Structures are given as structure tokens and as C-alpha cells.
Amino acid sequence: MYIATKLAAPLLLIIALFPISGSSLANTRSKKRDSGPLKRAELKEAESRLREMGYRTGPVDGVLDNATQQAVATFQKWEGRTITGRLTRGELNAIRSATPPRPKDRGYKHVEVDLDRQVLLLTDDDGAVTAILPVSTGSGRHYKEKSMSGLAYTPRGRFRIYNKLQGWRKSPLGLLYYPNYFSDGLAIHGNPSVPHAPRSHGCVRIPMSAAKEMSEQLPVGTIVLIYDAESFVSAKEWVQ
């Protein structure tokens, strides 16, 4: 009896110091569940919600293909999240609670290029966002290649599409796919490489998969607004 009592005392002390409650066990199970892989129904939910907000996903089928990963990365760009392109449970929760992107200008169809976020917004006639694409714009660095040199700069301001071409166009600095020209030879165009950071010579690169469809949405005369946090200029007076 004495020995049992002597052994029980330390055990009671340990239990008192480190209680194991039902709520602690439940929290542990909850954390494991929250950190686990997404179910197919949850992937479909994320795809559906992203597409509803204007992001270009692949088919809403619960399969995390390249298009959906790109949509997730674009969402992360817009929301100021870490850009991974991975659809985790944390990203799913963020997608669930997100509100659709809103353009700076409303009330007329136009394109906006947000240089800080590195995204493009296409709006309809009411100014509501219909498509959101990742872009890569001018790097801001000096370049010297193919007997040409200059500053890789994407101008800020308001512009109009003044010319456009179908298919591939060879320029002095490389190939452009379905270019839509807005300023001195600079264009919104498809490119096989659209990194998350600014890397172009000054053009606005968009994914190849979206280039043809985007070109169809940008007739000559379409207004293009390009801005960063300090340079937005409205073009509403152009359509009044």
C-alpha cells in the first residue's frame, strides 16, 4: 500500500501540471484535418469560386492542372499573399472569404494593368471585372541586346489600342503573340514566359493560353490604364 501511494503521487502531479483534456485532443485532430490534402470536392469548390471572380482556371473538375495553378498564383498576387501557385487549405479558406477584384475605373469597358501586383484586369461596359490575368511588365533595367539598347520600362498613364496583329509578330527584341499595341511599339501580347516579377523589355506579357481570346476582347480604340500605387490616371473623360 505504501509503495502504491508513493508511485501514485508523482503521477497525480504530472497530470495536474499537464492535463490532457478532450478539447486538446479535439484541437489536435482539427489541426491535422486542416493541414491535410484537399478533397476533390474542395478543389472543385476553389476552381469554381476563382472562375466566378474572374480568374482563368482550367475545367472545374477538381484536378489541379497548370491553368488552375496559374489562377491560384494570380489570386495570390492580387491578395498580396505569398505566390506559390499551390492550393492548400489555407488558400482555400482565403478564396472562400475573398471578394472579387475591383478596377480603379468603372462605367466603361477597358483594361487595367496593375504594375505593383503584376496583374491585368479586363472589364465589361459597366466596368465590372470579367477576366484577371498574370502579367510581366518592364523590368526597369537597362538592356543591350540584338544591337539595341534602352530602358526596360512600361509607361504609366492612359492609352488606347492603336494597332493589333494576329498570330506571331517578329519584333527587334523577339517574338510577340497576338500583339495589341498601345504605345510606341509596346504591346499587350502572349509570351511563353510570364514570370511573377517584371521581366519584359516594356511590353505587357500575358500567358500564351489567353493571348488569342484577349486580343478578340481588345478592338482598336480600347482604353488601357497602366499604373502603380502613385501613378493612376482615370480615363472617364475620354468616354463622356
Ordered structural domains, the chain, with CATH: 40-97 (no CATH), 110-235 (2.40.440.10)
Any idea what the Cα angle at residue 212 is, between residues 208 and 214, rounded to 5°? 95
DSSP letter string over 199-223? -BSSSEEEEHHHHHHHHHT--TT-E
CA 45 – CA 92 distance, rounded (Å): 8
Here the contacts of 29-37 (C-beta below 8 Å, separation 24 or greater) are 34/89, 35/89, 36/89
User: Any residues with CB less than 8 A from the CB of 238 and at least 6 apart, and which?
Assistant: 158, 223
pLDDT per position in the chain (240 positions), as tens?
444 555 455 544 444 555 545 555 444 444 445 567 999 999 999 999 999 999 999 899 998 899 999 999 999 999 999 999 999 999 999 999 999 999 999 999 999 999 999 999 999 999 899 999 999 999 999 998 877 899 999 999 999 999 999 999 999 888 999 999 999 999 999 999 999 999 999 999 999 999 999 999 999 999 999 999 999 999 999 997
- Cα separation, 201 vs 174, in Å, equals 10
Alpha-carbon distance values, 95 to 51, 60, 71, 74, 214 (Å): 11, 15, 11, 12, 24
